[in-house]
Every structure is written in C-alpha cells, then in structure tokens.
Structure 1
Amino acid sequence: MSNGDLVISADFGTSGVKVGVVDHALTILARVTESYPLTLATGGVAEQAPEDWWAALAKAVAALHLEVPDLSERAGALVFSSQLCGVVCCDANGVALRPCLTWLDKRAAPLGKKLVGGFPEVHGYKAHRLLKWLRIANGAPAKNGMDPTAKMLWVKENEPEIYAKTHWMVDVKDWLVHRATGEMTTCPESANLSWVMDTRLGREGWSEALCHMTGIDQRKLAPIVQADHVVGPLTAQAASDLGLRATVRVLGGTSDVMASTLGSGEVEDGALHVSLATSAWIAGFFPDRRISVAHSYATVTSGLDFRPLLIASQENAGSALDWVRNITGGAPAETAFADIGTPQKDDPFFLPWLAGERVPVDNDSLRGTFHGLSLRHDSNALRRAAIEGVALNLRWAMSKVAREKGAKTAGPLSIVGGVASNATFAQTLSDALNRDIRVCSARHAGMLGTATLAAPLMGWAASSTEAATRLKSRSSATFTPNPDRAAALTERANRLTKLRRHVIRSYS
C-alpha cells in the first residue's frame, strides 16, 4: 500500500465541488459537496475566484479525513474534472491575476461576433475563416462569446495591464492541477474549445495558423496532456493544505463532459447520454470527427487518446427549473416538482432560454417565455410547463444529434446529473423522447467517471474506458414511456416547433 489504494476524485461544477473517496470497485466510500460563490453582474459578467475552488477542495478533503480516518495513508491519486470554457489569467507562478471568466460569462459576445463574422457569411461566419476553422479544429468559436477565444481577446482589449502580466491563460481544471502540482497543463477538450487547436488525426496540438488568425498568443497556452497522464506529485504546500502525503499522484484530469460520459458507462462509439445539471448536454464518443454548423454542435478531441467526443450543449436545464421553482413559492428542490398535478391540454408552453441557447440554435440573445397563460393557471401549471419545456428542449436537440451516422437511438438512454434524480422530470423525458430512460448514479456520475481515469495507474483496470463499462450496470431507476402521454407530448412538440420559429425570429 506504499502508493495507496484509494483515489480522491473531485468534480468542480458551476456552484460547487463534489469530492469523493473511491476504491478499487469504483465504490464511493465517502463524499462531500462544498459550494463556492459565483459573481453575476450586468453586462454578462459571471466570475469566480480560483482560490475559492481550492479552499472548497481543502474543506471537503478535511471532512473526508473524518469519514475515512486513514485517508492520508491510503490516498494514492488525486484526479480533477471541471466545468469547461473558463479563462484564468495567471502569472508565471500560476497566481491568478483576476477572477476567472466562467463559461457563463457573456461580456465578450460583441467580440465573439466580430471575431467570426464578415462578408461573405455562412450561418453568421465569415466564409474563408469558417472553412479554415472547420478544416483544422473541426469547429469555430460560438457567436455568443462564451468560448475561451473571445474571452481571451476581451482581456487583451479591455484589461491590457492584466494581459501584459499574464503568463498563462488556462481553464478551471488546469489552474487546479497547477495549484496541486506546480505544473501548468491543459486537457485536449479545453484546448479544442479555445478553437486554436489542430484536432486532425496525427496532428493534435496548438495550431500556429489559428493562433495567428485569431490573435491568441500561443506562448500563453499550456502544454496539452492526456487525462490519465501523471502530471506530478503534490507539492509540499498542496499536501499540507489537503492533509495528504506529498507522494499522492495528480493526473491531468478532464472536463465535466468526459467525466459524465465515463460515469454513465456509455463509452462505445455512438452511445449517447444526457447530462442534466445547471445546463444540459447530449454527449458520446464517435470514431471520427463530426460537426453540424447549422445546429452548433461538434465532436471535440478528448483526453483519452484524442478520441472524438460529441458535445451538444444547451444553456438551461436545472437553472430554468430552479428559477420557476423560486418564482412559484420557493419550495425545496427535492419536493417542488413531486406533486404538481396531472398535465392539462391547455397547460402553458415554456421556452427555457433564460440564458440564451446554443443547440440547436446558437443565439445568446434568446430569452425564455411562458406562452398561453390564462387566469386559471396556477403555480403547479407553471411547474408542469417548466418540466415539459426543458424535456421538449432536449427533444429538439436530440432530433438533430440522432441523425449522426452511427448514433445509437434504440435501447435505454442514460441520464446523469442532479436533475436526473427528479423522477417527475425523468418520466417526462421518457415520454417526450418515447424512449426508456436509465438513471445512472445521478448526482455522482461525474465523480465516478473522473475516478476511472486513475484505474490504470492504480491497477484496477487496463484502461479508463474498461473501468467505465462497469458503471453501465449501475442504475438507480428506470422509466418507460407512457403511450398516451408520449402521444400528447408529440402533439405539443409539433405546436411548440411553430411557436419557436416566431420567438427566435423576434430576437433576430
């Protein structure tokens, strides 16, 4: 046990970090969730202080020491996964020079449009630039400015004194790995979504051509490493902060998207899963690069041998449900949608675009709405509309992704994330998609998926994906479509299709 027999897995989300102690059977022996603040302000500001992430990790690990008294002797590896598309500006020592511009930050939207637009245009992109991005990176920055590309340029233009001092511009997980090891690295998913990475087979790495085209300084970009690569042991300071031995090995880690994919157990090519938390996404591995410019999704190069991972992200899921819950009385999240009555034919429609949308329409100016409200509608009607609206929004995205060659559309669909544990929502999604739903380790799939990255290092499995396949058999619940409700939702989805067109046009 000189190298330890347990893994500490930390999954950093938008509102907090879930940290667990995982053993060789991929069983969570103990887990803790610690929150940290998110600063929202006018102009699209959505920031977090990187030191808050580390403080939350230290607090969580301290609590885990109480649950697993011999953790300091038994911990062999520390692995991180995190939210994507953040930008942390660091000096040469890795000290953050300003708060992180998180994935939710939209202040760079004008720069995003300027970066990608121009005559002649194709889907809002300047044609020759788009072709170059598609050929090299298999995608292009979102017009809404939420990808790191526009955020980096925003710092360069609006905070030149910070930019001048910046030695590294990295994502959330990258800063955490450095805080733990003293080594600055990044993962392929983060690199890909900066849209200055060459993702072509055999050429994976930073693209000098794309850096030149966008104005991104390649010298400020960290080396790209694989998710299961051992970056180094803990520094003496990190070991002290966490109460662990300095011999604990820290891996390169991954994004929340790949962590949830591994945690769902859906690791075969074409197998899809849905993650439902603050936002939502449909994701799955494919044997080659895929892209839909019209519907704003693509594969990114993952941290497991650069294997293409399709990601189709929607901005609003749990965030929209929480908003509706709060404006209809603020009942506890666990019970707010449990007893909301039987759906009615005249229930209002809900478009959950409270923070814009990405897939299958990329438009940060879109906003949510209730349609068809009457005097007889009460809080339960609004909550039913919210559950249905998020489910039908996912149906809309799935109708595009399911067309991909090789996409598996038969059999149960796996879902993970906090919203997945909501039985009312899971049944509604089953009815909306007319497909069986399998709820995985709903709130902890990301943590378990992250832990699988250490499986080869710890001798638990030959590969991370081999370890992940063991998780596929772990279902906490299953849901089967109700034929009558499925038919009713298909009818409402058809009506909603017409409504969407008018609403989208009103924001054009």
Structure 2
Amino acid sequence: MILAHDIGTSGLKSTVYTPDGTLLASVTSSYPLFYGNEFEVEQNPNDWWNALCHNTQNIIEKVNKDDIKCVSFSGQMMGVVAVGENGEVLRNSIIWADQRAYRESEKLLDRFSSDWLYRLTGNPTTPSYSAPKIWWFKENEPHLYEKTVCFLQAKDFLILKLTGEFVTDYSDASGTGMFDLNEKVWMKEILDFMGIPEEKLPMVCASTDCIGTITHQAAIECGLLPGTKVIAGGADGSCAAMGAGVIEDEELFSYLGSSAWVASASAQPIFEREQRTFNFIHVDKEKFMPIGTMQSAGTSFEWIRSITASNQPNSLQWMNEQAERSPIGSNRLFFLPYLIGERSPIWDKHAKGAFIGLTPQHDAGHMIRAVMEGVALNLTWIYKCLAEQKTFRELWFFGGGANSKLWQQMLADMTGLPLKVPRLKDEITGMGAAIAGAVAIGELSQLADAKSWIQLEQIIEPDEKHFSVYQEKLAEMKQLYVALKPHFHLKVMDQHR
C-alpha cells in the first residue's frame, strides 16, 4: 500500500492506495489560516505535522501498517517555511496566498527583465512566489533569518520531520520564482541580488525519488513503522495533473478547491507575451505543466456560504438549490472573485471582490449563483488563454467544486467543451502523490501506467444556447474589472501614504 498526504490550505487529507489505484482509506484533518493585514496569510507548520500524525493514527486503525510500503506527498506551493538548525519552525509559514512581498517583487523587476525572468523561471514575477517572500523575511525579520538553516515548502517540512532530510522536488522548486525551469538549478543571479545564499535552500530531486526512511522518533509520533520509505512527491498542482492522468500534450483539466486552476501538459514550457499563464515542472520531470491559477475559488464560495447559509442544516444542498432557481446570468448580477487579489489572468494583488448590479430584486440565490458564475467565468478566461496556444477537445473536472452539478454544467457551457467528471473527484492531488510513490517503489513501471487509475463517472455536454450567453457575460466581467481597477489601486495607495 501507498500512503499519500496532501497538505491543502484548509486541511490535510491522507489516503491509502493499492498499486492498481484502489482507494482503501481516507482521513482529513483541518487547521486554521491566520490573516494579518490585507496582504498577509499564514499557517503554523506544526499544525500540518499534528494533522499528519492524527490522520496516520486513524489510517492504521483501518489498514495494517505493515503493508504500508511508502509515504508520499502533495503540498501547497509557493510558501516559505523557515526552519532552524534542529529542524524547528522559526515562525508561521508565509503561504501561497500571501501578497506582502510586493515591494521586493518590484525590486526584482527593476533589476531584471520581466521577460527574462518569465522565460527562465516559467513564472511571472509577483509577490505570490517564494523568492520575494524570502527576501521580505530577510529584510523585515533579520534575527529569525539569521537562525534559518533552510527554507522549505509545506510537504518538504513534513518530509524533514519524518526523515531529517532537507529536500524539495523539481515541481515545488519551479514554483519559487528562483529556479531555472530548463537547467533545473537554483538561479545564482537572483539569489546574489537578494543576498540569499544557496546554502539556505534545499537539495532538489525528482518527485519519484526516495528521500530516506522514517526515523525512530517520527515513527513514535505518527504511528508508522521506522524504516518505512519516504518519497518526495510533488507540488499540489503537478500532483493534480498526474492524478488527473494529464501527461500528454493537448490533455486538459480543471481543479476547483480553495484556489482553482486550469492546466495542461507539455513537452516544452508555453510562454505568452502577456504572461497571463505560467509553467511548473510536472511530476514527470521531463515534462512541464502550462497552467493558470486563481486565488479565491472555493474560498469565495465558503465566504458567501458563511453569509447566506450559516444556519442551514445542509448548507451545501441548500445553496445549490437556491442557485439553480436563479436564472443564467444571476438576473444581471456580477461577482468579481478577487477576495485576496488575483493571479491568472490579471495578476493584480490589489484586486478586490465585488458584487456589481445589486438591486432589491436580488436574493440569496442570485448572490450564490453570481459567486459560482464569477469563479467559473474566471476559470474560462484562463482556459481561453491556454487555448490560444493549443487545441483542446475535452476538459476533466476535479476538486470539491466538481461535486456540484451546477458548477459542472456551468463550466461545460462556458468553455464549450465536453466535461469529463471522474468517480473520485476530491482525491486527485493525493492520487498523484500516490502514483509517484508507486513508481518509486517499483509497483508501477512508469507514471503513464497510472492512467488506468482514473475512472470516468459521466460526461457533461455543453449547451450551445448557454455558451453564447456566458461569452457575453465573460466580456462584461472583463470590462467591469478594468473599470474598477483604478479604484482598487487608489485605495491601496491611500492606505500606504
């Protein structure tokens, strides 16, 4: 058996698979987010470790721990976990959603060409990435920076706790903004400019590499056998591609969780002049994953849920019922899903969420549907950016959002593509990590063999009449963002005067 841990934004999910892709057990533990000012979002890495231990102890009540041959990982990307000499956490993790390092990001762009950075790292240079966040940490918390032995990502910290090794994999490294996508090395020019020694960064390996084995102390804490193999695994986006079976060119999938993305696979990185989309390294280290990611997808839904449905006994069912009663277009109500700024395709850290067009005739159902449409429209916008480079014939749909029949139909209607819905919608990232583990221990001969793990539940065909309506709504959404952009930026400038 392969035990996979997926470190998400709202919780850690642990799953156990057999080498033929059969899911045997699944346990999830949640943990909090900590918000500072409008740009600051953090988590305590020790919460991830406690969740791992809790989940593992529950898992081994359901399966024999003697049969668990390896542990593999998928994890949230673009964070900063500062650890000391003994592997101790020095502060909360600055996670992917954090945008505080905007000044450091601007300094990088003042020094280096944005096109040069984009084509070498595969990513636009923004505050979302680890490089400017580490620089912010160095400048603003120098006493802790000096104590830092290594900067890690979420899954890397848990690997350190299990094995004592400081490592990351190619896919997570490709999300830092300081890793050469093609040469697969840390970029000396960027590190020298920021004054960050490479010694503070981990060794980089393949997702299918065995990092080490579980130490005696870690075994006592988590409940697994000492000596169990620990596999590197990958970044959640790349593991999602692997778990979706998206390995070849022209294959496409969307994942809708707290954040959401649309991504493909490619033998080469895909660059575009406007830098609306970007590239990570795939779990298959010889391939790349062209992708566009939005910040607040499920987050927007959870926000409107807290406002409209907190007293409903079955809030998700109630929300979907209310939204289905609302007409397509939400009775001319628009929602911009930019609650914590936005990445693809607008790359605007100052963007804000907004309802536009509210009248006394609008009710909770209209607002819920407007939020769902706003999220799906932004994903469609990202899809159209990728479709300018390649032709796609179908779209796989995964994540918690894929459980919603309404969101399924929306995404099919907006993209005009047949939507393929799998039987296991919520397991994609953990499944990708498990596939890496199965290859690592020789249970699968190659990553592509795991395509058989994906079981199709149904295909949602797009409605042509709805397609034309949604294209008009997408065009209006773009216009509304452009009209409101000066207001978003003006408020930020006033705040920092």
TM-score by shorter chain over 0.5? yes
Q: Which amino acid letter does the alignment assign opposite residue 188 of structure 1? A: Y
2:400 counterpart (398, 408, 418) = 418
Three-state SS of the structure 2 residue aligned to 1:366 is coil
Corresponding residue for 2:96?
103
Q: Which amino acid letter does the alignment assign opposite residue 78 of structure 2? A: C
- Describe the superposition over 1:378-410 as per-residue Cα deviations: whole angstroms up to 9, x where unpaired: 111111111111111111111111111xx3411
Corresponding residue for 2:372?
387
Corresponding residue for 2:362?
377
- Describe the superposition over 1:288-323 as per-residue Cα deviations: whole angstroms up to 9, x where unpaired: 122235143221223422421112111111011111
Matched, 1:348 2:315: no
Corresponding residue for 1:169?
151
Corresponding residue for 2:253?
273
How far apart in 2 are the matches of 1:43 and 1:320? 16
Three-state SS of the structure 1 residue aligned to 2:70 is strand
Count matched residues.
Answer: 483
- Describe the superposition over 1:223-244 as per-residue Cα deviations: whole angstroms up to 9, x where unpaired: 0010000001111111122222
How far apart in 2 are the matches of 1:94 and 1:21? 27
Per the alignment, do residues 304 and 344 of structure 1 end up closer, same or farther by CA in structure 2, a change over 3 Å counting? Answer: closer
Matched, 1:55 2:50: yes
How far apart in 2 are the matches of 1:12 and 1:134? 27
Three-state SS of the structure 2 residue aligned to 1:89 is strand
Corresponding residue for 1:477?
458
How far the C-alpha of 1:131 sits from its partner, in A, is: 4.3
TM-score after normalising by structure 2: 0.93
Residues 36-45 or 129-138, more deviating: 129-138
Q: Which amino acid letter does the alignment assign opposite residue 101 of structure 1? A: I
Matched, 1:248 2:233: no
Contact 1:302/1:309 (8 A) holds in 2: yes
1:64 counterpart (39, 47, 59) = 59
Corresponding residue for 2:75?
82
The within-5 A match list for 1:193-232 is 193-200=175-182, 203-232=183-212
1:400 counterpart (369, 385, 391) = 385
Q: Which amino acid letter does the alignment assign opposite residue 450 of structure 1? A: A
Contact 1:77/1:251 (8 A) holds in 2: yes
How far the C-alpha of 1:463 sits from its partner, in A, is: 1.1
How far apart in 2 are the matches of 1:408 and 1:487? 20
How far apart in 1 are the matches of 2:346 and 2:51? 35
Matched, 1:22 2:17: yes
How far the C-alpha of 1:135 sits from its partner, in A, is: 4.7
How far apart in 2 are the matches of 1:466 and 1:426? 28
Per the alignment, do residues 293 and 194 of structure 1 end up closer, same or farther by CA in structure 2, a change over 3 Å counting? Answer: farther
How far the C-alpha of 1:429 sits from its partner, in A, is: 1.1
Q: Which amino acid letter does the alignment assign opposite residue 141 of structure 1? A: T
How far apart in 2 are the matches of 1:270 and 1:38? 36
Question: Which runs of 5 or more residues in structure 2 are unaligned?
Answer: 490-497
Q: Which amino acid letter does the alignment assign opposite residue 67 of structure 2? A: R
Matched, 1:44 2:45: no
Contact 2:293/2:344 (8 A) holds in 1: yes
- Describe the superposition over 1:16-55 as per-residue Cα deviations: whole angstroms up to 9, x where unpaired: 1110111122111011001112111225221111111111
Q: Which amino acid letter does the alignment assign opposite residue 3 of structure 2? A: I
Three-state SS of the structure 1 residue aligned to 2:6 is strand
Cα RMSD of the aligned pairs, angstroms, is 1.8
1:129 counterpart (105, 108, 113) = 113
- Describe the superposition over 1:455-504 as per-residue Cα deviations: whole angstroms up to 9, x where unpaired: 2234332112321x1134x1233311223222322232233333232123
2:353 counterpart (344, 368, 391) = 368
Contact 2:277/2:385 (8 A) holds in 1: no
How far apart in 2 are the matches of 1:387 and 1:302? 29
How far the C-alpha of 1:326 sits from its partner, in A, is: 1.9
How far apart in 1 are the matches of 2:318 and 2:146? 49
How far apart in 1 are the matches of 2:245 and 2:21? 12
Corresponding residue for 2:439?
456
Residues 316-325 or 340-349, more deviating: 340-349
How far the C-alpha of 1:167 sits from its partner, in A, is: 0.8
Three-state SS of the structure 1 residue aligned to 2:61 is helix
Per the alignment, do residues 391 and 344 of structure 1 end up closer, same or farther by CA in structure 2, a change over 3 Å counting? Answer: closer
How far apart in 2 are the matches of 1:358 and 1:54? 29
How far apart in 2 are the matches of 1:270 and 1:480? 19
Per the alignment, do residues 154 and 336 of structure 1 end up closer, same or farther by CA in structure 2, a change over 3 Å counting? Answer: farther
Matched, 1:314 2:294: yes
Residues 334-343 or 231-240, more deviating: 334-343
How far the C-alpha of 1:10 sits from its partner, in A, is: 0.7
Contact 1:139/1:291 (8 A) holds in 2: no
TM-score after normalising by structure 1: 0.91
- Percent of pairs with identical residues: 28
How far the C-alpha of 1:367 sits from its partner, in A, is: 0.7
Three-state SS of the structure 2 residue aligned to 1:224 is strand
Question: Which runs of 5 or more residues in structure 1 are unaligned?
Answer: 1-5, 119-125
How far the C-alpha of 1:189 sits from its partner, in A, is: 2.3
How far the C-alpha of 1:247 sits from its partner, in A, is: 2.2
- Describe the superposition over 1:310-347 as per-residue Cα deviations: whole angstroms up to 9, x where unpaired: 12111111011111222223244531432120415633
How far apart in 1 are the matches of 2:47 and 2:269? 36
Q: Which amino acid letter does the alignment assign opposite residue 29 of structure 1? A: L
- Describe the superposition over 1:253-280 as per-residue Cα deviations: whole angstroms up to 9, x where unpaired: 1010011111111211231111100011
How far the C-alpha of 1:434 sits from its partner, in A, is: 1.7
How far apart in 1 are the matches of 2:143 and 2:255? 39
Q: Which amino acid letter does the alignment assign opposite residue 356 of structure 1? A: G
